Amino acid sequence: MKTLKPNFVEFIPDVIGDDTLYISMKYKTVRHKCVCGCGNIVITPITPNDWWLKYNGAGVTLKPSIGNWGFSCRSHYWIINSAVIWAEEWSDKEVKIKREKDFNRKKTYYKDIKAKKNAKDGRFFVFFKKLYATRFKSIIQKILHQNLIIKKLGGKYGNI
């Protein structure tokens, strides 16, 4: 069984060796040469929406599977505990469905993040509204009231 040696690096080198998984935790990316031997470089970003990585001190697991549909080899495999497990080739139709699913999942993910951010901003606004209501309202009213008196007086007695 083919295995890929994990190599933890800060920067992925320009020339990458065979049978090695270059893992940059800093840049949240993993690269390796396609395991079919075609020589293409496979880049798997580590994000909540792309791949996740598990390291048990010896072997690395990357999920989900790696489907190199953009390469002529169209290889499809899993990397489980650094071992390459071949998976079935997908038809163009299956790839299209999977890509659409991925696209929709990502869209929902970013929509949720935006909604959470808006909710947080909303809470921030509510916090200031409460603060205004409890603390500053009377101060601001006093200032406004004084201005009003000054204006009234100003109207009566000219500029003071």
Q: Which residues bind Zn ion (CB under 5 A)?
A: 34, 36, 38, 73, 75
Contact present, 4 and 82 (Cβ < 8 Å): yes
When the beta carbons of 55 and 71 are compared against Zn ion, the nearer one is 71
When the beta carbons of 89 and 112 are compared against Zn ion, the nearer one is 89
Q: Please, what is the minimum distance in Å from the beta carbon of residue 70 to Zn ion?
A: 10
Phi and psi torsions of 150, nearest 5°: -60, -45
Q: Please, what is the minimum distance in Å from the beta carbon of residue 104 to Zn ion?
A: 28
- Tokens encoding 89: 């080739």
Question: How are beta strands 29-33 and 41-45 bridged, if at all?
Answer: antiparallel
- Tokens encoding 105: 């999942």
Residues 59 and 67: their CA atoms lie apart, in Å, by 20
Q: Please, what is the minimum distance in Å from the beta carbon of residue 86 to Zn ion?
A: 12
When the beta carbons of 74 and 106 are compared against Zn ion, the nearer one is 74
Q: Please, what is the minimum distance in Å from the beta carbon of residue 85 to Zn ion?
A: 15
Q: What residue has token string 């901003």?
A: 121
When the beta carbons of 38 and 126 are compared against Zn ion, the nearer one is 38
